[in-house]
Structure 1
Amino acid sequence: MSDDRLGRLAKGSLLSRMFGQGRQPLRLVAVPRDHVVGDRTRGDTLLAGRLTFGSEEVLLADMNFGELGGRSKLAREVQGFSWLRDLAASASREKGARLAEAIAGRWLIAHGSRVDEAWAPELWGERILYWTAYAPYILSSRDSGYRSALLNTLARGARHLDSSADKAAPGLPRITAWAGALVASLTVQGAISRLSRSESGLLRALAGAQFEDGGLMSRCPQEQQLLVDRLGLVRAAYFAAKQTQPDALENAAAAALAALHGVTMGDHGFSSWQGGNPGDPTRLAAMVEGCGLRARPLRQARGWGYQRLSALGTIIVVDAAPPPPAKVASTGCASTLAMEMSDGGQRLVVNCGGPGLAPSSLSPELVQALRSTAAHSTLILSDANSTAILPDGSLGKGVTDVEIARSEDNDCSRLESSHDGYVKGFGLVHQRRLSLGNDGKEVRGEDRLIPRGRKKIRESAPFAIRFHLAPGVEPTVTADGMGAILRSTGAPPWNFRCRGAMLQVEESLFIDGRGQIIPTVQLVVVGEISAVGGEIAWQFRRSS
């Protein structure tokens, strides 16, 4: 791909004619500094003429902005301009600007003069966040027509957000829209009069999407990472403009980071919840390091719903809340009371995961199956999801109430939680008790099915307690069939034992941080339960 070829398409007389050079020139009164280091490999790919996102790729020279639209995941990635961060990690300002300005110019020609899909409020919000933070890469041109076109379009986009930000979908999209409006009011010449309105809009969007403990109501770790990132860029804009950020925004950002830390495992990647996967630990670490915030992991989250137990390198994360409502999460999972576990940097027990927010090559049928209770490390009764997943992908009846009790003493940390997802169908409550020794060497668990309500099982119902094992963890079943030795290269061996049922080893799969399938296995404790209920005990113990 020729930079000169792209440059001819983007700049010169065409933009001058479309947007005019005679308008009063605008300027940025502040340029935020993005301290988050981008992905240099992805930046190198951009310089080579390709933009990759998940399983999809687009050739920059062949990209038609007019036909790209704004609905697909790849289209929204291109038009949000977050890739400027990766380009800056790979290229000098001079080299990167040639490419960035060429692409920005082509975007202006396709979308700058009319309101279309590319003007979706969440896209404008994201675009403003990155256009302002990477102004040196898109405003270094000597072409005054191009510069004027971009700055005037940015200002129009900001004014567009004044009336459209609240029309974005609730949750992260609306937060992103108001974050962009707020940054524009801090950085665009003459826009400071809209600061108070933008602050109120962002705080209102946060109040409607964020639990008091800092987690998003979508309960999606990948979206939570984007939330922290957005608020970090807002914080940088306040600093650049020499304005004081409201305490309410600072507190919301710190709480969001604490919630994010609460779902990370020992390898610094995410635990896999709500259709997500571990993500890229390197990118997560760069975001945490550069966002300007510091917070301890949230251990006991009521709204966010993820309970965290940790001791001397052993980490357990439990989903102790109902699935998220459909209006804020389209890929909610029937994962209540599932757990993940790691020892140092070695994952041991995982959930199967899902494609996350990036495009993937996973089939729709597999993505749907990955949302099921069976794809998570918890108990499943009669192969029925604890919360129904309907044919159209929405969630049906199931878990409505989760009870939680925690305690800690000199010996261990304890978590007792229960859900009502099986009450209507089977007349049974699922209760899971966990304890983690303070030396990090022993995890004791107990799954109980307790009678409740009028519904009764006529004879018996089969159950399975699944522990999906992380890639690289190899189980060897003991001679009595009631236990297994779990060996891996990243941690000492762990011994698993169960009581009250039989142990089987079955095939499983794991979706890695790139959205790809990795074959693995699972421990499955199987048995039958009657209307009077019962309990099954199990234990993980480190050999050394």
Structure 2
Amino acid sequence: MSRGTLGPKLRLSMHAAGETGRALLTRVYLSPFMRWRFGRSEPEKLVLAPQDLRASDPTRAAEFVAGRYTFAGKTIVLNEVSPFAVAPPSPAWRETLLGFTWLRHLRAADGLAGKQAARRLVSDFVRSNLRFQPEALDPLLTARRLLSWVSMAPMVLDGADRGFYKAFIRAIAWQASYLLHAGRNTTDGMPRLLCAVAVMQVSLCLTDKVSLRRPAQRWLISELTRQILSDGIHISRNPQANIELLLDLLPLRQSFSARNAVAPPELLGAIDRMMPMLRFFRHADGAFAAFNGMGYTQSHLIATLLAYDDARGKPVQNAPHGGYQRVEGHGAVLLVDTGTPPPISVSQEAHAGTLSFEFSADNFRIVVNCGAPAAGRENWRHLARSTGAHSTAIVNDASSSHFAGGTRKPGMGGRAILSGPKHVEVARDTTPTAVTLTASHDGYRHDFGLIHKRELTLSQITGALEGRDSFLDSRNEPWLGRYPALLRFHLHPAVAARPANGDTQIVITLPNGKEWLFLADVPFTLAETAHLANPEGPRRSVQIVMTLPDGEHTMSWAFLPADPV
């Protein structure tokens, strides 16, 4: 065992031990005694249905009513057979089914059809033994199911008989009590925080749940304090986490008010810190930057959340705790990842993209990262997390972080990041004409003996972006290593690129017809790539690839508007 891999292997062992412990605890919670304990008290009634901020789709509603179930890219058509009684076409399909997040679509159905279908599907689950199976009581799925059930309760219960009403309320209460215990041991990060949110929400929605409310509030406060950083970014560093959590935290805040209960300051403070981050990560076209697990931006969700933003001001430019920088100038937006990997326990979706950036101008994204693929595209996920899928430097085709499995190679990593850059230094210099970011990371220091230093300058006059990438040794001297070092600039699939002027520059044409030029002081080529952050699946695109010449240690480049006027 080499000295360099001892740390990651020990961390992997500890991570695996945690997963095994959580599985054992789940089996304990599902024992007959614990099932009796969680379900021995019964609340009187449901007194509150929180608002669901997610939109409903009438087309999906019509499909469910007709017995057509499409989840995670797979479809099953059933005739008077419950979807809970058939073999799932994929694990992702079954997980989506059991989470009940799709229940909201049925409120968009015409007449009584949606209500009847919703009640029938909930009844199928409540009256089946499936609800006591480990797969159905995965804490994250249970949390999502509870939040869906209480928000959609008016639709589900409209026209229901007393027997179904009691079974429905009993099922909610039992799952909330179960989740209060099992959720504390589930996967760290957003899954655990969502479990705390779900239990807190249920305790406010049901009568006679004061005994549940007190521990739920303590748990919620603990998780919010730990997971929402001082600048409002989630500890996982995934921008998607901010979106998903706000969609549930805002209704929870409303529920406290509706029950005439005082919301904890930690909840209000977390929301206040998280809301500005919605503007921080937005490009000129409204899409979020694809960092650390962020996929396709659902613009309607962002618009809904921004309606709750009382400040409505210019986004902050520096998120030092989350590890991101934002620069704006003359209609251009530059977003840069300047952080270290998140803690191992919350790194399951994190990417090896340190010092990667995204750049947009004229209301279109130009340079992007490949982004996270949609559900059902798991074969792309490991590749999406590699350094090569980001607009940054890559050395010897190896990622700047070690993934579980003891490797840096794309396509081979496990779920957690075990090690990566330990020191990321950032400096910001602002003048009336330009803003310059200078950052460096040591993710390649141990294996290849180099420090990657990146200098990015955004003009406040023209919106042009100029960059300089340096490869230095531990003494801050020029790195003269034997390994190939490349720069990759992944272009958004909506833009077109072609070589020009004798292959000394690239012309980038935006969808509105405006042109930008790419120039560099070393040879570069255009190569194929894939943009993964799309709901319909990967889209072909191109990337600009620069190779560090032998004997050199710097590469300079620029994205310039062809007509800066």
Which band: TM-score by shorter chain? 0.7 to 0.9
Q: Does 1:229 align with 2:247?
A: yes
Q: Does 1:540 align with 2:559?
A: yes
Q: Give the aligned partner of residue 162 of structure 1.
A: 180
Name the CA distance, whole Å, in 2 between partners of 1:93 and 1:235: 31
**One of 95, 111, 115 as aligned partner of 1:97:** 115
Q: Aligned pair in 2 of structure 1 residues 225, 480: CA closer, same or farther (>3 Å)?
A: same
Name the CA distance, whole Å, in 1 between partners of 2:217 and 2:347: 25
Q: Aligned pair in 2 of structure 1 residues 286, 47: CA closer, same or farther (>3 Å)?
A: farther
CA contact (8 A) 1:381 1:462 kept: yes
**One of 493, 517, 529 as aligned partner of 1:495:** 517
Q: Does 1:405 align with 2:422?
A: no
Q: Aligned pair in 2 of structure 1 residues 489, 125: CA closer, same or farther (>3 Å)?
A: same
Q: Aligned pair in 2 of structure 1 residues 113, 443: CA closer, same or farther (>3 Å)?
A: closer
SS at match of 1:528: coil
- Deviation, 1:396, is 4.8
**One of 259, 266, 290 as aligned partner of 1:248:** 266
CA contact (8 A) 1:54 1:514 kept: no
Name the CA distance, whole Å, in 2 between partners of 1:309 and 1:93: 50
Q: Give the aligned partner of residue 492 of structure 2.
A: 470
Count, aligned residues:
514
Calculate the TM-score normalised by the size of structure 1. Answer: 0.86
CA contact (8 A) 1:426 1:456 kept: no
Name the CA distance, whole Å, in 2 between partners of 1:57 and 1:285: 30
Q: Give the aligned partner of residue 290 of structure 2.
A: 272
Q: Give the aligned partner of residue 359 of structure 1.
A: 376
Name the CA distance, whole Å, in 1 between partners of 2:134 and 2:165: 22
Gaps of 5+ in 1: 1-22
Q: Is 451-460 or 48-57 further displaced after alignment?
A: 451-460
CA contact (8 A) 2:373 2:384 kept: no
CA contact (8 A) 2:382 2:413 kept: no
SS at match of 1:119: coil
CA RMSD in angstroms, aligned pairs only: 2.9
Name the CA distance, whole Å, in 2 between partners of 1:113 and 1:504: 55
Name the CA distance, whole Å, in 1 between partners of 2:242 and 2:481: 44
Q: Aligned pair in 2 of structure 1 residues 83, 136: CA closer, same or farther (>3 Å)?
A: same
Taking the TM superposition and a 5 Å limit, the aligned residue runs for 1:303-342 are: 303-342=321-360
Question: Letter of the aligned partner of 2:376 in structure 1?
Answer: P
Could you give the per-residue CA deviations for residues 198-229 of structure 1, whole angstroms, max 9, x where no partner exists? 11111212233332222222222223321111
- Deviation, 1:493, is 0.9
**One of 93, 99, 102 as aligned partner of 1:83:** 102
- Deviation, 1:313, is 2.8
Name the CA distance, whole Å, in 2 between partners of 1:440 and 1:148: 65
Q: Does 1:509 align with 2:527?
A: no
Question: Letter of the aligned partner of 2:560 in structure 1?
Answer: R
**One of 525, 534, 543 as aligned partner of 1:522:** 543
Name the CA distance, whole Å, in 1 between partners of 2:371 and 2:245: 21
Q: Aligned pair in 2 of structure 1 residues 507, 117: CA closer, same or farther (>3 Å)?
A: closer
CA contact (8 A) 1:307 1:317 kept: yes
Name the CA distance, whole Å, in 1 between partners of 2:98 and 2:461: 49
Question: Letter of the aligned partner of 1:538 in structure 2?
Answer: W
Taking the TM superposition and a 5 Å limit, the aligned residue runs for 1:276-295 are: 276-289=294-307
- Deviation, 1:243, is 2.3
Name the CA distance, whole Å, in 2 between partners of 1:404 and 1:484: 30
Q: Is 71-80 or 27-36 further displaced after alignment?
A: 71-80
CA contact (8 A) 1:266 1:347 kept: yes
- Deviation, 1:302, is 2.1
SS at match of 1:424: helix
Q: Give the aligned partner of residue 20 of structure 1.
A: none
- Deviation, 1:166, is 0.9
SS at match of 1:416: strand
Q: Aligned pair in 2 of structure 1 residues 441, 450: CA closer, same or farther (>3 Å)?
A: same
- Deviation, 1:406, is 1.6
Taking the TM superposition and a 5 Å limit, the aligned residue runs for 1:181-220 are: 181-220=199-238
Q: Aligned pair in 2 of structure 1 residues 41, 67: CA closer, same or farther (>3 Å)?
A: closer
- Deviation, 1:490, is 3.3
**One of 428, 436, 445 as aligned partner of 1:414:** 436
Question: Letter of the aligned partner of 2:433 in structure 1?
Answer: D
- Deviation, 1:111, is 4.5
Q: Is 428-437 or 455-464 further displaced after alignment?
A: 455-464
- Deviation, 1:265, is 2.0
- Deviation, 1:434, is 1.1
Could you give the per-residue CA deviations for residues 352-374 of structure 1, whole angstroms, max 9, x where no partner exists? 22324x222x5x3x432232212
Q: Is 464-473 or 281-290 further displaced after alignment?
A: 281-290
Q: Give the aligned partner of residue 381 of structure 1.
A: 395
CA contact (8 A) 1:400 1:420 kept: yes
CA contact (8 A) 1:34 1:233 kept: yes
- Deviation, 1:74, is 2.7
Q: Is 301-310 or 446-455 further displaced after alignment?
A: 446-455
CA contact (8 A) 1:355 1:511 kept: yes
CA contact (8 A) 2:82 2:121 kept: no
- Deviation, 1:141, is 2.6
Question: Letter of the aligned partner of 2:64 in structure 1?
Answer: L
- Deviation, 1:449, is 1.4
Q: Aligned pair in 2 of structure 1 residues 288, 53: CA closer, same or farther (>3 Å)?
A: farther
CA contact (8 A) 1:209 1:217 kept: yes
- Deviation, 1:314, is 1.4
Q: Percent identity?
A: 27
**One of 24, 43, 63 as aligned partner of 1:45:** 63
Q: Aligned pair in 2 of structure 1 residues 57, 326: CA closer, same or farther (>3 Å)?
A: farther
Q: Aligned pair in 2 of structure 1 residues 48, 291: CA closer, same or farther (>3 Å)?
A: farther
- Deviation, 1:102, is 0.8
CA contact (8 A) 1:426 1:455 kept: no
Name the CA distance, whole Å, in 2 between partners of 1:113 and 1:238: 29
Could you give the per-residue CA deviations for residues 287-345 of structure 1, whole angstroms, max 9, x where no partner exists? 44469996764431223222211234311111111233332122332211111111243
**One of 117, 126, 129 as aligned partner of 2:147:** 129
Q: Aligned pair in 2 of structure 1 residues 137, 344: CA closer, same or farther (>3 Å)?
A: farther
Could you give the per-residue CA deviations for residues 30-66 of structure 1, whole angstroms, max 9, x where no partner exists? 2222344334443343344333333223446544425
Name the CA distance, whole Å, in 1 between partners of 2:113 and 2:253: 28
CA contact (8 A) 2:384 2:532 kept: no
CA contact (8 A) 2:361 2:463 kept: no
SS at match of 1:327: helix
CA contact (8 A) 2:295 2:534 kept: yes
- Deviation, 1:455, is 11
Q: Aligned pair in 2 of structure 1 residues 515, 288: CA closer, same or farther (>3 Å)?
A: farther
Name the CA distance, whole Å, in 1 between partners of 2:180 and 2:418: 36
- Deviation, 1:236, is 2.6
SS at match of 2:120: helix
Q: Does 1:118 align with 2:136?
A: yes
Could you give the per-residue CA deviations for residues 271-299 of structure 1, whole angstroms, max 9, x where no partner exists? 22224422322343334446999676443
Question: Letter of the aligned partner of 2:283 in structure 1?
Answer: M
SS at match of 1:370: helix
Name the CA distance, whole Å, in 1 between partners of 2:501 and 2:203: 69
- Deviation, 1:105, is 0.4
Question: Letter of the aligned partner of 1:224 in structure 2?
Answer: N
